[in-house]
Amino acid sequence: MVLIKYWGFSASQPCRTVLYVLRSLGIEYEHHEIRPRLDTRAEWFMSINRFSGAPAIEYNGTKMIESVAISRFLCSKYDQEYMLFPKDEVARQKVDALLDINACYLRPVFMNSYWDLKLSQICFNAPERDEEFTSTTFDSIKINLGHLDQIVKSNKKNHSLENCTSLSGSNKTLADVQIYNEVYNVAYQLEINLKEDFPYLQEWYDSFQNDQLMKELDQEMIISFDNIIKMYKEILDKQES
């Protein structure tokens, strides 16, 4: 079996998606935990991805970038049971559509929100946002969480599911993994309670909370963010001294 090399950091939602695929499919890999902005902007990493984005992998000497492209590749090579990426073309189109929705709509709102409202102030001494900006940002978050809630509700009805375990079809897919990681980050960082306003999304979310592998990745995310915040604070202290 080809040994895959992986570069990423677990605070990153896309990185955790690739890790979920690697681990859930039992793929042997060599893990390289890197630092955002420092390692990702270093010459050696930019030779892998000139856009400085993680994750990246190396397969049989070929460097690969972008989490969804990497995950699709890994599924096509190793997911013989089609556990994460369905074989049926119509079902696969639905998964691809959700992945595009995440990239175009969900991720820009969710990730920017907790950096704008919380992490930039902690890591870079950015000014606090005013009430209007904060309110507008939370409104955008809730609108998109509401869209997801309705998608889960519709999928549960269409497939007569007892539990809300997927955004598309009857089983978890790559799209569920990627979008869960986005929702987990924003809910954790901004302390958002899904249960009251988004009951179907909460049920879907809970299905991942009961997934042992995802629980491990969630904990790795927390540790990674703690380390990143510590790193940026040390850089700020040196700049101010």
Q: What is the pLDDT of residues 131-189, one digit of tens each?
A: 999 999 999 999 999 999 999 999 998 888 888 889 998 889 999 999 999 999 999 99
Percent of the chain at pLDDT > 70 equals: 99
d(Cα 186, Cα 59) in Å, to the nearest integer? 32
Helix ranges (DSSP H) in 7-88:
13-24, 43-46, 67-78
Give the fold, CATH level 3, of 89-210.
Glutathione S-transferase Yfyf (Class Pi); Chain A, domain 2 (1.20.1050)
Quickly state the pLDDT bin for 108 (edges 50, 70, 90). very high
Q: What is the pLDDT of residues 145-155, one digit of tens each?
A: 999 999 999 99
Superfamily holding 4-78? Glutaredoxin (3.40.30.10)
Q: What is the pLDDT of residues 23-49, one digit of tens each?
A: 999 999 999 999 999 999 999 999 999
pLDDT at residue 4 greater than cutoff 90: yes
| Stated pTM of the model | 0.95
Choice between 1 and 211, residue whose per-residue pLDDT is larger: 211
Q: What is the pLDDT of residues 118-135, one digit of tens each?
A: 999 999 999 999 999 999
Q: What is the pLDDT of residues 55-93, one digit of tens each?
A: 999 999 999 999 999 999 999 999 999 999 999 999 999
Query: In the chain, what are the domain boundaries?
Result: 4-78, 89-210
Cβ atoms of residues 169 and 161 within 8 Å: no
| pLDDT for residue 159 | 83
d(Cα 210, Cα 50) in Å, to the nearest integer? 37
**Amino acid (one-letter) located at 210:** N
Neighbours of 47 (CB within 10 A): 9
Strands 56-59 and 62-65: antiparallel
Whole-number Cα distances in Å, 38 to 28, 54, 89, 230, 236: 27, 12, 41, 14, 14
Q: Which residues contact 2 (CB under 8 A, 6 or more apart)?
A: 59, 60
Record the tokens describing residue 159, joined without a space.
Answer: 């497939």
| pLDDT for residue 1 | 63
- Rounded average pLDDT over 212-217: 97
Q: Which residues contact 48 (CB under 8 A, 6 or more apart)?
A: 7, 56, 58, 63, 65
Nearest to 145 by CA among 209, 224, 202, 99: 202
